């Protein structure tokens, strides 16, 4: 029942390829990163009403987000 609800094929019907992914793993890999600044999400969202020691959270996160992108 659970499988039917989630779209997964039940185990009983996957005994022949129980250990294998449905498709080639190379097709599942992420593509190259799009050229976008790593703090784009921070810029595009309305900041949350959260302050830490009176500093807006987004201001504290901007530099770390750039670090995530290697910048």
Partner 1 sequence: MLVVHGAWVDGRLGVWAEDTARGAVPASRAALRPHPFAAPATTLAEALRGSGTDGPGSTGAPAGPVAGAEERELTIRLPGSAGGPLPSPESGLASRARSPRILTWRVPALLLPPAGALHLLGALTGPDTDVGVGVNAETGRGCSWPNADDEAYGNTGGPEWGPGLSLRYLSVVAEHARSLVRRGRVLPGLVVEKGVPAARWRPVLTGADRAALRAVAAAMPPVCRAVPEERPSKEVLTEALNGLVDGVVRLSLPGRLIAGRWPGLGAPLPDRWLYALTGEDAALPAGRPAEVAALGDALDGWSASAHQLDGPVRACFQLIEPVRDGGPWRVEFGLAPTPGHPSLTSVPGQASPAPGADRSPPAPAAGCPSASVVADYLPAGRIRAGQRAPWLPERPMEILRTDLARAVRLHPGLHSALRDPEPTGLSVETAWAFSFLRNGAPALRAAGYGVLLPAWTGRQGLGLKLTTRAVTGGEDLGLDDRVNVRLDVVVGDHTITPAELAGLAGLGIPLIQVQGRWVELDDRQLKAALAVVERHGGGDRTVGEVIREVVEGGDEELPLITVDADGLLGDLLSGEADRRLTPVRVPRDLRGTLRPYQERGLSWLSFLSGLGLGGVLADDMGLGKTVSTLSLLLSERESGRPGPTLLVCPMSLVGNWQKEAARFAPSLRVHVHHGGTRKRDDELASAVRGADLVVTTYGTVLRDLGALAALEWERVVCDEAQAIKNSATLQSRAVRSIPARTRLALTGTPVENHLSDLWSIMEFCNPGLLGSAVRFRRRHQEPIEFRRDEGATAALRRATGPFVLRRLKTDRSIISDLPEKLEMKVWCTLTPEQAELYESVVNDMLHRIDGFHGIERRGNVMATMTRLKQICNHPAHLLKDGSRLAGRSGKLARLEELAAEIVEEGDKALIFTQYTEFGSLLQPYLAALLDRPVLWLHGGLSKSRREELVERFQRDEEPMLFLLSLKAAGTGLNLTAAGHVIHVDRWWNPAVEDQATDRAFRIGQTKNVQVRKFICLDTLEERIDEMIEGKKSLAERVVGTGEDWIAGLSTERLRELLRLGPLAVS
Is 45 a residue that touches partner 1 (CB under 8 A)? yes
42 binds partner 1 (CB under 8 A): yes
> Interface with partner 1 includes 49 (CB under 8 A)?
yes
Number of Cβ atoms within 10 Å of the Cβ of 21: 9
Q: With contacts defined by CB under 8 A, how many residues of the chain interact with partner 1?
A: 58
- Phi and psi at residue 55, to the nearest 5°: -100, 130
Q: How far apart are CA 34 and CA 69, in angstroms?
A: 11
| Selection from 43, 31, 37 nearest residue 68 by Cα | 37
11 binds partner 1 (CB under 8 A): yes
Residues lying near partner 1 in the complex (CB under 8 A):
2-3, 5-8, 10-12, 14-15, 17-53, 55, 57, 60-61, 64-65, 67-70
């Amino acid at each position: 029942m659970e499988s039917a609800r989630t779209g997964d094929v039940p185990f009983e019907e996957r005994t022949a390829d129980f250990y294998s992914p449905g498709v080639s793993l190379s097709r599942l890999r992420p593509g190259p990163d799009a050229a976008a600044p790593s703090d784009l999400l921070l810029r595009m969202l309305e900041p949350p009403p959260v302050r830490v020691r009176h500093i807006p959270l987004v201001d504290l996160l901007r530099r770390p987000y750039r670090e995530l992108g290697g910048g």
